[in-house]
Structure 1
Amino acid sequence: MPRSWTVAVARDDLAQMTYAEGDVPAVTDGEVLLRVDRVGLTANNVTYAVLGDAMRYWEFFPSGSPERGLAPLWGFADVVASTVPEVAVGLRVYGYLPPASHLVVRPERVDESGFRDGSAHRAELPSPYNVYRATTGDPAYRKDQEDLLILFRPLFYTSFMLADQVADNDFYGTRTLIISSASSKTAYAAAAELRDQGVRLIGLTSHGNVEFTRSLGCYDEVRTYDEIDSLDLVPSVYLDLSGSPQVRAALRERLGDYLVRDIAVGLTGQVPNAGAAGEVFFAPVQMRKRRHDWGRDGLEERFTAAWQRFATVVDGWLDVQVGHGPDELQRVWLEVLGGRVPPRVGHVVQL
């Protein structure tokens, strides 16, 4: 008899995992059963777990235990059972998924582009995370780019909206942007989008990632963290993707009043950085603004155009490694959690 499974982590120790099996969920009226097929694991997923309580990420996929959580992943799933006539068995969707074999959703606002999960426990959570995009109605989808979409689409939406917000505010009156964790996917995707917009992009990274980061060609300058004290004293905006208190302190000491904006974007380490920053970037806020400015179709058109530009270059920057099954999911989670994944490697797990 078919079985389902989940891989949960201890909320107070993300390296402790629990594998559990159970019966495949049955669907009732208004529900659809997704079989999770292919997911990615990046530092972004660790961020969801680190900020699981503060940003309510644990609430998307309840584990049934206050001690354990299901860290959200992005990827593709297939409809294997449906009581909703508009959502056919066999439909393939992209979206927010648990580290599990199956997920029950309650589709609402169904159209050719997909649907939203209207499950009660997700009603008050940020709506962009509740969207499931049908591959048949997604202008950004190409079958041969599934792994790139898995690894980059959620990051790229963050990068795209971050670049848009900074440009929308005329770079806060500056012409220098400093980006930490410059070798991370979110950082260099934002840099690629900001390239050629009349600003100087300075990437900060570790010694071991300097060569890779320079090879991308999307930064005007790449420096190591211990070279912060030689930065030019010009009005600058700091986009913090590292979450490092030491980096923030060094920048503030060096730039003083020249540091015009200090914006926490995410974290590639595991130190929440929102409290120390001047402000926090949250992609859904800028998305809502642009839906109002451009309309839903206008936003999608701009995102698709940006993604297609990025996808043409990023394929040469990444070595996609594909694993199989829940054991590999657990192994890769520990590797990503421990910061042991080289910047050129992207992990996808076929479940």
Structure 2
Amino acid sequence: MPASWTLAVARGDLGRTTFVDGVTPALSDGEALLRVDRVGLTANNVTYAVLGDSMRYWQFFPPDARGLGPQWGLPPLWGFAEVIASAVPEVAAGQRVYGYLPSAGHLVVRPHRVDASGFRDASRHRAELPSPYNAYRSTTGDSAYRPDQEDLLILFRPLFFTSFMLADQVVDNGFYGAASLVMSSASSKTAYATAFELHGRGPRLVGLTSPGNLAFTRSLGCYDEVLSYDDIGVLDVGPTVYLDLSGAPSTRAALRRHLGDQLVRDIAVGLTNQTPNADAAEEVFFAPVQMRKRSQEWGREGLDQRFTEAWQRFTAVVSGWLDVRVGAGPEALRNAWLEVLGGRTPPRVGHVVQL
């Protein structure tokens, strides 16, 4: 079998990395082998590592299967892979799929519920993990796929799905009766994709960001107002919903002091740095919960159709907001990881690595 490689990070020190060489395993009946081809790296991937234990993200790609001890973890990535061998009659070699991938050259999956749209990985260790991460979409059966937009899918699809479901939940709840909706980390992809979905549909949208990102965030045109974190005191005092994507305790504290009981909803969405924000918020948004609700109400095809329509609206403008930086090879993947982990990636830049 051909040689393979794995990039792992120390679970207790995410800036410490190691490469391990190995051999891709032989397949058993019911398995297929994916070659990891092209992946992205954003703050979302750092989130997976930061919450790797509490949210079980480390469990998707066990290190022991690759000759590594439990102190190491494989950061999950989103991107494209190619089926290079298959012991599943319905899954043909050469098929290209989009999904959740390890920081490694190969992945063995156990395809289940195979249809024109792709398959799900039914490997035993993933059976109790959140199901949205186990889906692998075939490029030939994916209504959102376009060959010239692969890098946008790599960088934005999982983030945009979160944004789409977050915006949907806010609308579904009548904007919680708010006059203003304030979003932290407004320069982040998840935040401005959410704002893009919500702009013009209800309350005034206010983005909070660091002074260095003010110009970029204002240039997007999807917020009614963009302020520095230092200017929270100028916000209008009225019924306000806070969507916290930054995880900065000081921002929440400043909003609570300024707005008092006019802060009608405080929702933790995630984090773009390494400060967990879930404990301090009144509630936590988790996209699969709203997805399950809408899947029951709209059906899977209805949800896919609405997502595709929103995605097409978004991709019509987002390419003008993004500079894709493409690296090649495992070492470029490590360098991108360390840059994103260190917060050194400008908001206009998206890292894609061709492996």
TM-score in same-fold range (> 0.5): yes
> Which letter maps to 2:148?
D
Q: Distance in 2 between matches of 1:174 and 1:277?
A: 17
**1:197-248 CA distance string (max 9 Å, x none):** 0221000000000000000000000000000112111110000000001111
Please name the residue that 1:161 is paired with. Answer: 165
Q: Does 1:22 align with 2:22?
A: yes
Please name the residue that 1:114 is paired with. Answer: 118
CA contact (8 A) 2:57 2:76 kept: yes
Q: Distance in 2 between matches of 1:258 and 1:171?
A: 14
Q: Give the alignment's TM-score, normalised by structure 2.
A: 0.98
Please name the residue that 1:6 is paired with. Answer: 6
Q: Distance in 1 between matches of 2:353 and 2:118?
A: 23
CA contact (8 A) 2:175 2:202 kept: no
Q: Distance in 2 between matches of 1:156 and 1:107?
A: 25
Three-state SS of the structure 2 residue aligned to 1:310 is: helix
> Which letter maps to 1:143?
P
Q: Does 1:95 align with 2:105?
A: no
Please name the residue that 1:45 is paired with. Answer: 45
Alignment partner of 1:316 out of 296, 315, 320: 320
> Which letter maps to 2:14?
L
Q: How well do the aligned residues superpose, as a CA RMSD in angstroms?
A: 0.6
Please name the residue that 2:243 is paired with. Answer: 239
Q: Does 1:205 align with 2:227?
A: no
The residue correspondences of 1:1-351 to structure 2 (distance < 5 A) are: 2-64=2-64, 65-351=69-355
The percentage of aligned residue pairs carrying the same residue is: 74
> Which letter maps to 1:312?
A
1:78 positional shift: 0.2
Q: Distance in 2 between matches of 1:229 and 1:54?
A: 35
> Which letter maps to 1:202?
V
**1:117-158 CA distance string (max 9 Å, x none):** 000000001100000000000000000000000000000000
Which runs of 5 or more residues in structure 2 are unaligned? Answer: none
**1:171-220 CA distance string (max 9 Å, x none):** 11112110000000000000000011022100000000000000000000
Number of residue-to-residue matches in the alignment:
351
Three-state SS of the structure 2 residue aligned to 1:84 is: coil
**1:73-110 CA distance string (max 9 Å, x none):** 00000000000010000000000000000000000000
> Which letter maps to 2:101?
L
1:26 positional shift: 1.3
Three-state SS of the structure 1 residue aligned to 2:85 is: strand
> Which letter maps to 2:4?
S
Three-state SS of the structure 2 residue aligned to 1:6 is: strand
Q: Distance in 2 between matches of 1:75 and 1:140?
A: 14
> Which letter maps to 1:241?
L
Q: Give the alignment's TM-score, normalised by structure 1.
A: 0.99
> Which letter maps to 1:12?
G
Q: Distance in 1 between matches of 2:25 and 2:282?
A: 45
> Which letter maps to 1:28?
S
Moved over 3 A (4+): none
Q: Distance in 2 between matches of 1:56 and 1:273?
A: 17
**1:45-75 CA distance string (max 9 Å, x none):** 0000000011110011011222011110000
Q: Distance in 2 between matches of 1:30 and 1:51?
A: 31
Q: Distance in 1 between matches of 2:27 and 2:241?
A: 50
> Which letter maps to 1:338?
G
1:2 positional shift: 2.2
Three-state SS of the structure 2 residue aligned to 1:268 is: coil
Three-state SS of the structure 2 residue aligned to 1:294 is: helix
> Which letter maps to 2:60?
F
**1:6-39 CA distance string (max 9 Å, x none):** 1000001000001000011211100000000000
